[in-house]
Amino acid sequence: MILLLALLSCAGKDVRTYDTDLLHLGTGYNARMACSCVFVLGRDEESCQDLLKVSPDLARFQVDREAGTVTSKALGGWRRTARFVDAQVGCVLEE
């Protein structure tokens, strides 16, 4: 009975929900992991592509060695970039 009253009292209030846009999360993950693979581990782009391959393989990344960034793109509309900070911090996602 108490549980029912608690549920009814919350029914009219706004409930916070979290958007789990999988392509946004996937491109962020791909950018961050590829950045770490290239700039922290010192591996070449081809071996990092093989390491990060998932199925279905929707996200692709491009490395900009001069800028120290990796940009991941999926289906032409989703894009995230990770930037190498230094050896101690590693890579961080840009906003």
For range 25-49, the mean pLDDT: 94
pLDDT above 60 (res 8): no
Higher pLDDT, 3 or 74: 74
Which amino acid, 68?
A: G
Spatial separation of the C-alpha atoms in residues 54 and 29, rounded to whole Å: 12
User: Do the beta carbons of residue 30 and residue 62 sit within 8 Å?
Assistant: no
State pTM to two decimals.
0.75
User: Do the beta carbons of residue 40 and residue 34 sit within 8 Å?
Assistant: no
Confidence (pLDDT) at 54? 78
How is residue 39 annotated by DSSP? I
Please give the C-alpha separations between residue 78 and each of 5, 20, 44, 91, 95, in angstroms, as whole numbers.
43, 14, 24, 19, 13
Which residue reads 């491009």 in tokens? 62
CB-count exposure of residue 23 (10 Å: 0-12, 13-18, 19+):
middle
